[in-house]
C-alpha cells in the first residue's frame, strides 16, 4: 500500500511501538490504496485539533483506524485500560469513540474542502487496531465485530481481507457506492493537504506557521508527477517549496528501495537536510563527483541547481548516473531567473540541454514561505516574481534609512531588543549582510547584545546545533536555501549595481517567513522609492 509518509517518522511524538507494527503491516499489504499515518485534523468533535492514527483510502471509501498498544481490556466498570512496561493506564475515552470522532472530524473537513456530493456518496468507516494482543472478547452495541483488528491479522492476506471486509460492511451499512478513480484522486489530494509533515527550520508564529504547513496544490501535483516520470525539471522562485518537495520526493523513492543521491551546492543546506527525519536512507552530499567505490544512483535529486548549472556541473552530476543525464533518472530543482546571478554559474545552454533531456518541466507558481506583505515588497522593490502567496497575514516589511554605520547599528540594536523583549527566541532572528566582515554589529550601540550574536557556519544549519539557539549573522550566500522567521538585512549601500548584488538582495529578502527589516543607506532613498513606484505601476498596469 502507498504510505504517506513513506517511512515511519523516527522521533515521532507518540513513539508508539504498536503504530510502528501496524505501519509495517500496512506498508507490506498489497491492497490498492493510500494510507496516511498520524493525520493531524484541524477541527475535531471535542477539541480544536485532533489526530487520526491511520486513514486508509481505497475506491471502497475511507477508513479511520485508532491504534491501542499493550494488553488492552475493558473492565466491568466500562473503563478501558492498557498494560505495558510502564504499568496499567486508564484510557479517558473508548478507543472506538475516539476513532468515530476522528472519522467525523475528517469527514467534516473534506465536506468543506471538496464536493459535498462526493463526500455524501463515499463510505466513511472507523475501526480499532490492537497490534500487541488479541482483541478483547467483549460484545457491545458500541462496535461491530468487523471493526476490530488485532495481531492475528498481521500477514498480508489476512490484513487485506480485514480491510476489505471493514470497508464492504461500511458500504452496506450506510448504503454507499464504490467511488471512481477520479474521485479517489480528489480525496487523496484533499487528505494529503491536511497532512503536515513539512520541512520547517524554526517554530514561528502559530497562525502563520499553520498556513505555511499546509500543502499547496502546486506541491501536491509536484509530488504526483515524480511517481510517473524519470527526468523532471522543476522551476520556481524563492519560497515556492522546491526544497520541501525535493526532500519529500527523495523520501518517497528511498522508501521504494531506490538508491537516492541528493546533491546540494551548499554545505549549509546539506547539513540542514541531514538533520531532518526520515533521511537515513538518502545519501545527501555537497556537489562532488562519484568515487569509483560508490554505487551509481537510481535517482539523483539536485536542489538549488542554478548554483552549479553549467556544463561542468552537469558533467560532475552525470558521474552518479550509469546512463548519464540523457537516459538516467533525476529531478533538478532551480530558480532560473532571480537567483541565477549569485554565483555566476547559471548557463542557459546547460538549462536548455536539461529541459530537452527531461520528460517533464514543471513550474511552481505558489509561494508557501513568505507572507503576502513580503512577497509584495520583493515584487515592488526588485520586480521579481516569487509566486502567489498563500499566507495573507503579516506585517509590512520595514525599510529604515541610515546616515552612517553607527546609525544603522543603533537602529538594528533597538529593533532586535524589541523582539527579545516580546519573547521572540534568539534562534528565530538572523542578520544578513553582503559584507562577511561587517562592522555594524561590532559598533558601540550593540553593547551587551553583541554577546547574543554568533557568526553562522554550515554546521549551525542542523536542527540540533546548540549554536543555532543564538542570533545568527551570515551572508546571503551562506544562508541560501534556508529560512528564518525574523530577517534583518543590513549594509545595503548599493542597488541594482550588478546582477550579483541584485541576486544577493533577492535571496536576503526571501529568507523571511514572518517579518523583514532592512537598513538602507540614505543615499539610496530616492533610488529605492523610484524603483518601487516604477515596478508597482508596471504590475498594476499588467493586471
pLDDT per position as a tens digit, 413-432: 999 999 998 888 999 999 99
Q: What is the residue-averaged pLDDT of the chain?
A: 86
Mention every residue, 6+ apart, whose C-beta is less than 8 A from residue 321.
Answer: 296, 297, 300, 327, 328, 329, 330
Same domain, 352 and 397: no
Average pLDDT over residues 125-135: 88
Same domain, 13 and 151: yes
Same domain, 254 and 334: yes
CB neighbourhood size of 411 (10 A): 18
Model confidence at 138, pLDDT cuts 50, 70, 90, reads: low
Same domain, 408 and 495: yes
Rounded-to-integer distance, Cα 188 and Cα 185, Å: 5
Q: Are 24 and 84 in contact (CB under 8 A)?
A: no
Q: Give domain status of residue 376, yes or no.
A: yes
pLDDT: is 258 or 70 the higher one? 258
pLDDT: is 441 or 87 the higher one? 441
pLDDT at 10: 55
Last residue in a domain, options 191, 218, 246? 191
Mention every residue, 6+ apart, whose C-beta is less than 8 A from residue 365.
Answer: 218, 236, 240, 387, 388
Q: Which residue has cell 461491530?
A: 144
Reduced DSSP (H G I as helix, E B as strand, rest coil) percent helix, strand, coil of the chain, to 5 = 40, 25, 35
- Sheet strands (E) in 236-365: 260-264, 282-286, 299-302, 330-334, 360-363
Same domain, 100 and 179: yes
Domain range enclosing 80: 2-191
Rounded-to-integer distance, Cα 424 and Cα 445, Å: 21
Cα 535 → chain centroid: 31
Model confidence at 515, pLDDT cuts 50, 70, 90, reads: very high
Q: Give domain status of residue 95, yes or no.
A: yes
Rounded-to-integer distance, Cα 33 and Cα 451, Å: 54
CB neighbourhood size of 237 (10 A): 24
Q: Give domain status of residue 152, yes or no.
A: yes
Handedness of CA 327, 330, 336, 341 (dihedral sign): negative
Same domain, 235 and 288: yes
Residue 538 has pLDDT above 90, yes or no: no
Same domain, 342 and 266: yes
Same domain, 452 and 504: yes
Q: What is the number of structural domains in the chain?
A: 3
Q: Give domain status of residue 284, yes or no.
A: yes
Rounded-to-integer distance, Cα 260 and Cα 281, Å: 8
Same domain, 315 and 234: yes
Amino acid at each position: 500500500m502507498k504510505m504517506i509518509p513513506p517511512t515511519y517518522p523516527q522521533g515521532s511524538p507518540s513513539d508508539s511501538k504498536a503504530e510502528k507494527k501496524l505501519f509495517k503491516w500496512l506498508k507490506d499489504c498489497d491492497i490498492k490504496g493510500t494510507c496516511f499515518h498520524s493525520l493531524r485534523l484541524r477541527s475535531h468533535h471535542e477539541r480544536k485539533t485532533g489526530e487520526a492514527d491511520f486513514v486508509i483510502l481505497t475506491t471502497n471509501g475511507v477508513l479511520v483506524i485508532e491504534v491501542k498498544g499493550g494488553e488492552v481490556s475493558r473492565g466491568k466498570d466500562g473503563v478501558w485500560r492498557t498494560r505495558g512496561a510502564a504499568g496499567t493506564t486508564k484510557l479517558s475515552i473508548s478507543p472506538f469513540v475516539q476513532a468515530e470522532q476522528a472519522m467525523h472530524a475528517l469527514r467534516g473537513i473534506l465536506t468543506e474542502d471538496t464536493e459535498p456530493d462526493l463526500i455524501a456518496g463515499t463510505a466513511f468507516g472507523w475501526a480499532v487496531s490492537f497490534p500487541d494482543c488479541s482483541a478483547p472478547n467483549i460484545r457491545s452495541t458500541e462496535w461491530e465485530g468487523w471493526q476490530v483488528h488485532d495481531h492475528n491479522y498481521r500477514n498480508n492476506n489476512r490484513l487485506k481481507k480485514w480491510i476489505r471486509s471493514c470497508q464492504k460492511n461500511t458500504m452496506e451499512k450506510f448504503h454507499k457506492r464504490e467511488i471512481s478513480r477520479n474521485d479517489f484522486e480528489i480525496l487523496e489530494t484533499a487528505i494529503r493537504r491536511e497532512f503536515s509533515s513539512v520541512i520547517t527550520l524554526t517554530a514561528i508564529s502559530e497562525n502563520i506557521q499553520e498556513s505555511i504547513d499546509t500543502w499547496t496544490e502546486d506541491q501536491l501535483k509536484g509530488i504526483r508527477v515524480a511517481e510517473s516520470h524519470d527526468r523532471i525539471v522543476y522551476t520556481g522562485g524563492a519560497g515556492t517549496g522546491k526544497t520541501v518537495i525535493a526532500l519529500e520526493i527523495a523520501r518517497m523513492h528511498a522508501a521504494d528501495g531506490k538508491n537516492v543521491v541528493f546533491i546540494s551546492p551548499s554545505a549549509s543546506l546539506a547539513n540542514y537536510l541531514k538533520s531532518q527525519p526520515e533521511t537515513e536512507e538518502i545519501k545527501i552530499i555537497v556537489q562532488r563527483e562519484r568515487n569509483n567505490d560508490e554505487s551509481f544512483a537510481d535517482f539523483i535529486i539536485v536542489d538549488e541547481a542554478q548554483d552549479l548549472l553549467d556544463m561542468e556541473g552537469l558533467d560532475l552530476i552525470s558521474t552518479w548516473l550509469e546512463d548519464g543525464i540523457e537516459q538516467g533518472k533525476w529531478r533538478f530543482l532551480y530558480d532560473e531567473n532571480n537567483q541565477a546571478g549569485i554565483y555566476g554559474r547559471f548557463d542557459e545552454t546547460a538549462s536548455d540541454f536539461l529541459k530537452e533531456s527531461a520528460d517533464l518541466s514543471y513550474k511552481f507558481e505558489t509561494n508557501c514561505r513568505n507572507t503576502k506583505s513580503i512577497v509584495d515588497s520583493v515584487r515592488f522593490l526588485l520586480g521579481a516574481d516569487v509566486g502567489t502567496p498563500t499566507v495573507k497575514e503579516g506585517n509590512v516589511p520595514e525599510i529604515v534609512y541610515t546616515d552612517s554605520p553607527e546609525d544603522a547599528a543603533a537602529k538594528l540594536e533597538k529593533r532586535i531588543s524589541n523582539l527579545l523583549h516580546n519573547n521572540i527566541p534568539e534562534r528565530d532572528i538572523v542578520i544578513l549582510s553582503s559584507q562577511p566582515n561587517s562592522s555594524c554589529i561590532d559598533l558601540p550601540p550593540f553593547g551587551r547584545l553583541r554577546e547574543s550574536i554568533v557568526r553562522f557556519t554550515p554546521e549551525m544549519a542542523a536542527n540540533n546545533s546548540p549554536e543555532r539557539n543564538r542570533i545568527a549573522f551570515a551572508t546571503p550566500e551562506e544562508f541560501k536555501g534556508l529560512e528564518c522567521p525574523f530577517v534583518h538585512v543590513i549594509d545595503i549601500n548599493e542597488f541594482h549595481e550588478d546582477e550579483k548584488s541584485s541576486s544577493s538582495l533577492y535571496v536576503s529578502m526571501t529568507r523571511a517567513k514572518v517579518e523583514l527589516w532592512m537598513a538602507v543607506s540614505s543615499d539610496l532613498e530616492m533610488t529605492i522609492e523610484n524603483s518601487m513606484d516604477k515596478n508597482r505601476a508596471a504590475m498594476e498596469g499588467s493586471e
